[in-house]
């Protein structure tokens, strides 16, 4: 009943003061002025200190109210008259007090959001018209929402117990085991909701109320429609529960019966919108004769040739032109002199876009590039090589080397072709347009590549010599044929390489797996067969012991299905034929469907990615949530929450994170610390 009466009295006071402001000029003689001042709608943004006056802290006894928490205000107002302004406002900030004494130890922090309207009176009747600074008073009505918390527990979840000697311990002073008490320090993290703690038995009280903001201040006109306002506003609320303490609290927590108040001292920058209509300046008019004369003499590009006779409008300023207004081309090569890097090119010689004559080598290179571009998008490849299987060299831009192409494919390749490719130790792939080429070798001289081609043909593998330049393959059939005729009688035995090649097969998957899963696997070769399985191989060894050690490394990386396979002369052979001693028969047709143990597949929730330092507020939220770990990559740090055996459990955790404010959270897969898409992780979990 007492609070209802307070609300009625505050509303009545607001209406009386507002009415007084509205009728005041009728009883005050206005100043004589022949000028009409424009009244502008105003928008402003301010910041200041928000101080609390209530039960906790004793109305800031011993404290400066300006040494408090930050608050922000946004307002929009419009003049009603020259002396009265009506506006809407919204304020957001935090208030908090820490009271520490031998008699009482209380603390709280509350998030405050208010919104309402107010009238502002500027004493216009008593001030000079050309004033720069003017005082004002304001009165309004608002709604107030608060969310109050207290620092009740330390970082390890231990409650604070304040002893008579001034220390803080984890056990009450009168507890039987008080001798075991340990000193604790406040962490000043306000983690406990005061209403949920219900220390005084108030239950679920309302965290919304009304208020009456009363303020004073001064406005300084800065010019150009801008002004600066300094003000202090006391917000008289109609609740005594912002700090969670009232006259009905028990014991040392008991407060007085006054309502809580907040003082907002702020600096605000405002801008007044000019609402006057702009009048268009009158433009001079021309007679028809003057218009015709203007058109006849117009020369837009200033080259001395009128637009009516200019065949090349838009010539750059200062460029020499002929009688038709076109830039001069002295050598007649089609490139104007001001753009020509070779102004004396012989007549009839082809030139480039800069007017420089082209040599026979330039024309041949352009022709070969044109011829190669016709095959750039014919088929699509499906084989991928990461890291290279042999000692390939990194090409410098513009350097030409020679390779032997042993095949290219778009759809899945046959088992026989797959075995043929894998039997070549230094096979690699080149992506060109939509086509994937399988190439062998990397030679500086064409005859060396031709010899390798002949050696492969001697082993039953057909190939085609091509040039490689800037990552592109260029046909050189005519040159290769001429070299081939001279190399037919050469000794090729040292080029054949008929030794067995032993590789580690990591497994076969029904769906293509993300590269992130194989990021630390060397010499990875990926082939998709016509049976729909995508196979993954690593390494190329001729020593079975080295291959076995590499297999162990792969097993330790989590590829539980890894096994050795051997290829020789274009077909798969047994490991015994490759020099290994076996303890049991080998099935050459075996292909495990998966090489990852489903038990190693987990799901996590990614809650953030940062390329630099993590913002302090975000890191604080990670610490508050808990169970957030980071994974560092070359260009960023990703943060993950939790670890779950099923995707359904991870999806539930994702929704929880989104509810806590991490709107961009999503589920990913985790295989032995490697992060992959959730869909692929689910396939691996199901053994696909």
Domain map of the chain by residue range? 2-28+40-151+188-272, 311-358, 376-595, 598-685
φ and ψ at 221, to 5 degrees?
Answer: -80, 125
pLDDT for 684 equals 80
618 or 394: which leads in pLDDT: 618
Measure the CA–CA gap between 647 and 627, rounded to whole angstroms.
18
Q: In terms of C-beta density within 10 A (0-12 exposed, 13-18 middle, 19 or more buried), how is residue 314 classed?
A: exposed
User: Are both 2-28+40-151+188-272 and 598-685 of the same fold?
Assistant: no
pTM (two decimals):
0.41
Measure the CA–CA gap between 474 and 482, rounded to whole angstroms.
17
Measure the CA–CA gap between 474 and 397, rounded to whole angstroms.
15
* Angle (deg, nearest 10), helices 678-685 and 647-659: 150
Helix (H, G, I), strand (E, B) or coil at 245: coil
pLDDT for 369 equals 53
Burial 2-24 (b: 16+ CB within 10 A, else e): eeeebeeebeeebeebbeebeee
pLDDT for 534 equals 78
Q: State mean pLDDT over 500-510.
A: 80
Taking only the tens place, the pLDDT of each residue in 86-144 is 999 999 999 999 888 888 889 999 999 999 999 999 999 999 988 899 999 999 999 99
229, two tokens: 């306002």
Q: State mean pLDDT over 344-365.
A: 76
442 or 209: which leads in pLDDT: 209
Q: State mean pLDDT over 305-328.
A: 81
Taking only the tens place, the pLDDT of each residue in 155-169 is 999 999 999 888 999
Among 484, 496, 422, residue whose Cα is nearest residue 459: 496
644, two tokens: 């779950």
Is the separation of the CB atoms in 56 and 97 below 8 Å?
yes
Among 473, 465, 464, residue whose Cα is nearest residue 400: 473
CA distances for 457 relative to 377, 407, 439, 463, 566, angstroms: 28, 13, 14, 7, 21
Taking only the tens place, the pLDDT of each residue in 257-302 is 899 999 999 999 999 887 777 666 666 677 776 776 666 777 777 7
pLDDT for 411 equals 60
Q: Which residues contact 153 (CB under 8 A, 6 or more apart)?
A: 159, 160, 191, 192
Is the separation of the CB atoms in 465 and 448 below 8 Å?
no
Burial 125-148 (b: 16+ CB within 10 A, else e): eeeeeeeeebebbbbbbbebebeb
Looking at 129-282, list the stretches that DSSP marks H as alpha helix, in order from N- to C-terminal side.
194-197
How many C-alpha atoms does 283 have within 13 Å on its Cβ side?
3
Most confident of 8-22, 302-316, 638-652: 638-652
Of the listed ranges 157-161, 311-315, 440-444, 477-481, the least confidently predicted one is 311-315
Number of Cβ within 10 Å of residue 275's Cβ equals 10
Q: 2-28+40-151+188-272: what fold?
A: Porin (2.40.160)
Q: 598-685: what fold?
A: Alpha-Beta Plaits (3.30.70)
Number of Cβ within 10 Å of residue 570's Cβ equals 17
Taking only the tens place, the pLDDT of each residue in 219-272 is 999 988 899 999 999 999 999 999 999 999 988 888 888 999 999 999 999 998
| Average pLDDT value for the chain | 79
Torsion sign (Cα): 419, 421, 426, 429: negative
């Amino acid at each position: 009943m007492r609070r209802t009466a307070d609300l009625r009295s505050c509303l009545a006071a607001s209406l009386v003061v507002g009415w007084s402001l509205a009728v005041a000029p009728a009883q005050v003689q206005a100043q004589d002025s022949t000028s009409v001042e424009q009244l502008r709608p105003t928008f402003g943004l301010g910041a200041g200190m928000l101080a609390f006056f209530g039960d906790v802290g004793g109305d800031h006894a011993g404290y400066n109210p300006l040494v408090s928490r930050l608050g922000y205000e946004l307002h929009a107002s419009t003049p009603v008259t020259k002396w009265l302004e009506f506006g809407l406002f919204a304020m957001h900030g935090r208030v908090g007090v820490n009271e520490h004494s031998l008699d009482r130890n209380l603390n709280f922090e509350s998030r405050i959001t208010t919104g309402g309207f107010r009238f502002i009176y500027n004493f216009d009747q008593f001030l000079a018209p050309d004033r720069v600074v003017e005082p004002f008073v304001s009165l309004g009505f608002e709604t107030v929402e608060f969310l109050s918390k207290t620092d009740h527990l330390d970082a390890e979840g231990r409650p604070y117990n304040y002893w008579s000697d001034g220390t803080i311990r984890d056990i009450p002073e009168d507890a039987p085991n008080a001798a075991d008490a340990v000193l604790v320090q406040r962490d000043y993290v306000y983690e406990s909701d005061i209403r949920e703690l219900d220390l005084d038995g108030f239950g679920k009280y309302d965290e919304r109320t009304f208020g009456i903001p009363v303020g004073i201040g001064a406005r300084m006109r800065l010019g150009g429609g801008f002004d600066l306002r300094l003000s202090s506003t006391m917000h008289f609320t109609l609740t005594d529960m912002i700090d969670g303490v009232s006259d009905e609290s028990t014991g040392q927590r008991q407060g007085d019966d006054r309502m809580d108040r907040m003082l907002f001292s702020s600096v605000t920058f405002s801008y007044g919108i000019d609402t006057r209509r702009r009048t268009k300046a009158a433009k001079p008019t021309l007679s028809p004769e003057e218009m015709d004369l203007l058109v006849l003499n117009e020369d837009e590009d200033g080259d001395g040739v009128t637009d009516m006779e200019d065949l090349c409008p838009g010539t750059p300023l200062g460029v020499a032109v002929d009688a038709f207004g076109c830039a001069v081309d002295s050598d007649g090569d089609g490139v104007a002199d001001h753009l020509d890097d070779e102004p004396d090119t012989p007549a009839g010689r082809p030139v480039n876009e800069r007017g420089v004559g082209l040599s026979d080598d330039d024309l041949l290179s352009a022709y070969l590039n044109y011829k190669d571009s016709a095959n750039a998008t014919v088929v699509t490849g499906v084989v991928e090589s990461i890291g290279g299987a042999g000692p390939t060299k990194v090409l410098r831009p513009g350097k030409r080397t020679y390779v032997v192409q042993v095949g290219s494919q778009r759809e899945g390749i046959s088992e026989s072709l797959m075995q043929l490719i894998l039997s070549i130790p230094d096979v690699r792939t080149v992506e060109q347009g939509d086509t994937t080429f399988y190439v062998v070798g990397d030679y500086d001289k064409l005859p060396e590549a031709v010899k390798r081609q002949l050696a492969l043909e001697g082993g039953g593998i057909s190939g085609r010599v091509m040039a490689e330049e800037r990552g592109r393959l260029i046909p050189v059939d005519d040159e290769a044929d001429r070299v081939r005729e001279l190399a037919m009688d050469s000794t090729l035995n040292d080029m054949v390489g008929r030794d067995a090649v032993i590789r580690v097969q990591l497994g076969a998957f029904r769906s293509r797996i993300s590269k992130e899963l194989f990021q630390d696997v060397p010499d990875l070769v990926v082939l998709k067969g016509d049976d729909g399985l995508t196979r993954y191989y690593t390494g190329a060894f001729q020593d079975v012991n080295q291959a076995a050690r590499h297999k162990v490394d792969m097993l330790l990386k989590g590829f539980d299905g890894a096994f050795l396979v051997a290829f020789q002369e274009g077909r798969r052979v047994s490991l015994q034929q490759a020099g290994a001693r076996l303890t049991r028969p080998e099935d050459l047709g075996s292909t495990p469907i998966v090489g990852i143990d489903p038990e190693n597949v987990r799901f996590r929730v990614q809650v953030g990615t940062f390329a630099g330092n993590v913002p302090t507020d975000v890191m604080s939220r990670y610490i508050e949530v808990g169970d957030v770990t980071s994974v560092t990559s070359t260009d960023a740090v990703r943060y993950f929450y939790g670890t779950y055996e099923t995707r359904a459990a991870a999806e539930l955790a994702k929704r929880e994170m989104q509810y806590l404010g991490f709107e961009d959270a999503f589920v990913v897969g985790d295989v032995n610390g490697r992060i992959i898409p959730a869909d692929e992780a689910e396939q691996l979990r199901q053994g696909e």
